[in-house]
């Protein structure tokens, strides 16, 4: 009898797993920026070439890694963020915890990491090079405190996947979306984005959302945005929305953060749109950056880690709170007509 079923070799298993985490350059950028934020960075510089398909570098001034930690970090299922399932149950406060990003990114690209711990000896950093998941070299490096991860030739060893990459413009727009998201969620961190040698934006890290909006979206958009705040029961919302004239043709500029974490929330987007009460032109969408706070027990943000969806226990309460907050902000600024009595 012939046998049809065989065990996949390690390289194949690794490439399949990598495909789940790393879809395109923007997914690499997301993982690296999250790592920098988890490392307590005050400054994060993201540099990409050709939309990230040729090179991605994320540099931070975070806590850094010793040589031993750096060697461990690139192995499979290694993390400093949780120790066991009990920690998971207690609630994770970091953006990462799965311990798979560096390892899987390494499996499908050429990675160079230089790092130096904050409390490290002067001048003593470490450089580690990986290609296709294998450590090629580890040695001393003169580098500042913090970490720089450089990812070159994404998908060089998985040609089928490389073929699915879109144009530089499309890939860069995904990268831009991701970096913008984290820059707005963390106005106290100075975040910069550079594409093919041109600085796209740089936030100051001064800590206020309005100045981050100014850096990311430019003066015209930032000046069109007004504060929207509200609270009802267990739901609180705060942030900014644009006037009904300052719009774009996609919903992409309507960002929602739930308890500080970015989510794609159709419920919140619908609530925002309905607050404009017909003042928006057809197929036009406002800018909105809204932070929704609910007790962690009232929302499940882990419905799908990559799509960043969430499930509310009381969807209508969220919708009502957001809609009222945005509507009142627009009314206060005379930007929409009152349609129905509020109460």
Question: Under 8 Å CB-to-CB from 156, ≥6 apart: which residues?
Answer: 108, 109, 110, 162
64 or 125: whose CB is closer to ligand ADP? 64
For the CB of residue 171, give the shortest distance to Mg ion in the complex, in Å: 21
Tokens 């390690």, residue located: 10
User: Least distance (Å) from ligand ADP to the CB of residue 35?
Assistant: 3
237 binds, among ligand ADP, Mg ion, none (CB under 5 to 8 A by kind): none
> Contact between 66 and ligand ADP (CB under 6 A)?
no
Q: Which two tokens stand for residue 129?
A: 């090079």
Rounded to an integer, what is the distance from CA 91 to the centroid of its chain?
20
The binder of ligand ADP chosen from 81, 129, 227, 284 (CB under 6 A): 81
Q: Contact region for ligand ADP (CB under 6 A) — 58-66, 131-139, 190-198, 212-220? A: 58-66
Residue with tokens 């149950």: 89
| Interatomic CA distance for residues 54 and 97, integer angstroms | 28
Shortest spacing between CB 153 and Mg ion, in angstroms = 21
Give the interface segment with ligand ADP, choosing from 32-40, 186-194, 245-253, 310-318 (CB under 6 A): 32-40
Q: State in angstroms the smallest separation of the CB of 300 from Mg ion.
A: 21
Q: Does 43 bind ligand ADP (CB under 6 A)?
A: no
Footprint of ligand ADP on 82-101 (CB under 6 A): 96-101
Binding residues (CB under 5 A) for Mg ion: these are 35, 96, 101
Q: Does 177 bind ligand ADP (CB under 6 A)?
A: no
Strand partners, 49: 55
| Among the listed residues 63, 213, 222, 271, the single contact to ligand ADP using CB under 6 A | 63
The CA angle 115-15-135, to the nearest 5 degrees, is 35
Tell me the closest approach of the beta carbon of residue 321 to Mg ion, in angstroms.
32
Restricting to residues 135-154, which ones interact with ligand ADP according to CB under 6 A?
Answer: 147
> What is the number of helices (H) and of strands (E) in the chain?
11, 17
Q: Does 120 bind ligand ADP (CB under 6 A)?
A: no
State in angstroms the smallest separation of the CB of 8 from ligand ADP.
Answer: 22
Nearer to ligand ADP, 97 or 156 (CB): 97
Binder among 62, 125, 230, 286 for ligand ADP (CB under 6 A) = 62
The encoded tokens of residue 165 equal: 């990459």
Calpha distance 56→342 (Å, rounded): 50
Which residue from 212, 342, 329, 326 is spatially nearest to 269, judged by alpha carbons? 326
Residues 6+ apart with CB under 8 A from 158: 15, 18, 19, 108
**Subset of residues 271 to 330 that bind ligand ADP, contact rule: CB under 6 A:** none
- Of the pair 59, 158, the CB lying nearest ligand ADP is at 59
Single out the residue of 15, 27, 36, 158 in contact with ligand ADP (rule: CB under 6 A): 36
Rule CB under 6 A: choose which of 73, 191, 214, 329 binds ligand ADP: 73
Q: Which residues of 97-136 are buried (b: 16+ CB within 10 A; e: fewer)?
A: eebbbbbbbbbbbbbbbbbbbeebeeeebbbbbbbbbeee
Shortest CB 338 distance to ligand ADP, Å: 48
Instruction: Give 23 or 293: the residue with its C-beta nearer to ligand ADP.
Output: 23
Residue 173 binds what, of ligand ADP, Mg ion, none (CB under 5 to 8 Å, by partner type)? none
What are the angstrom distances between the C-alpha of 287 and each of 169, 226, 250, 268?
22, 10, 10, 13
- Bridging pattern class, strands 43-49 and 190-195: parallel
Alpha carbon separation from 169 to 25, 49, 127, 172, 306 (Å, rounded): 12, 11, 31, 5, 22
The residue ranges that bind ligand ADP (CB under 6 A) are 31, 35-36, 39, 60, 62-65, 73, 78-81, 96-103, 147
């Amino acid at each position: 009898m012939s046998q049809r079923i065989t065990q996949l070799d390690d390289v194949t298993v690794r490439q399949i797993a990598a495909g789940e985490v790393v879809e395109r350059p923007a997914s690499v950028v997301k993982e690296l920026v999250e790592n920098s934020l988890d490392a307590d960075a005050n400054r994060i510089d993201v540099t990409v070439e050709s939309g990230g398909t040729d090179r991605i570098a994320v540099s931070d001034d975070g806590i850094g890694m010793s040589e031993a930690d750096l060697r461990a970090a690139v192995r499979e299922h290694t993390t400093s963020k949780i120790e066991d399932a009990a920690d998971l149950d207690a609630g994770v406060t970091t953006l990462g915890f799965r311990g798979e990003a560096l390892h899987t990114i390494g499996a499908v690209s050429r990675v160079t990491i230089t790092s130096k711990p904050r409390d490290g000896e002067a001048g003593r950093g470490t450089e580690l090079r990986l290609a296709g998941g294998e450590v090629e070299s580890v040695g001393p490096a003169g580098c500042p405190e913090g970490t720089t991860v450089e990812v070159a030739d994404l998908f060089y060893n998985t040609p089928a996947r490389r073929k699915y990459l879109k144009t530089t413009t499309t890939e860069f727009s995904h990268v831009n979306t991701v970096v913008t998201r984290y820059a707005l969620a963390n106005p106290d961190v100075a975040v910069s984005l550079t594409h093919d040698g041109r600085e796209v934006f740089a936030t100051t890290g001064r800590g206020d959302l309005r100045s981050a909006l100014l850096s990311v979206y430019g003066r015209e958009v930032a000046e069109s945005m007004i504060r929207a705040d509200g609270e009802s029961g267990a739901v609180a919302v705060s942030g900014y929305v644009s006037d009904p004239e300052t719009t774009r043709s996609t919903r992409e500029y309507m960002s929602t953060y739930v308890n500080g974490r970015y989510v794609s929330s159709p419920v919140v987007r619908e609530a925002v749109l309905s607050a404009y009460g017909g003042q928006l032109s057809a197929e036009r969408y406002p800018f909105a950056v809204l932070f929704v706070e609910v007790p962690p027990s009232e929302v499940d943000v882990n419905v799908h880690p990559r799509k960043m969806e969430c499930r509310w226990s009381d969807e209508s309460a969220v919708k009502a709170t957001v809609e009222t907050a945005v509507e009142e902000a627009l009314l206060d600024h005379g930007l929409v007509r009152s349609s129905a009595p509020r109460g």
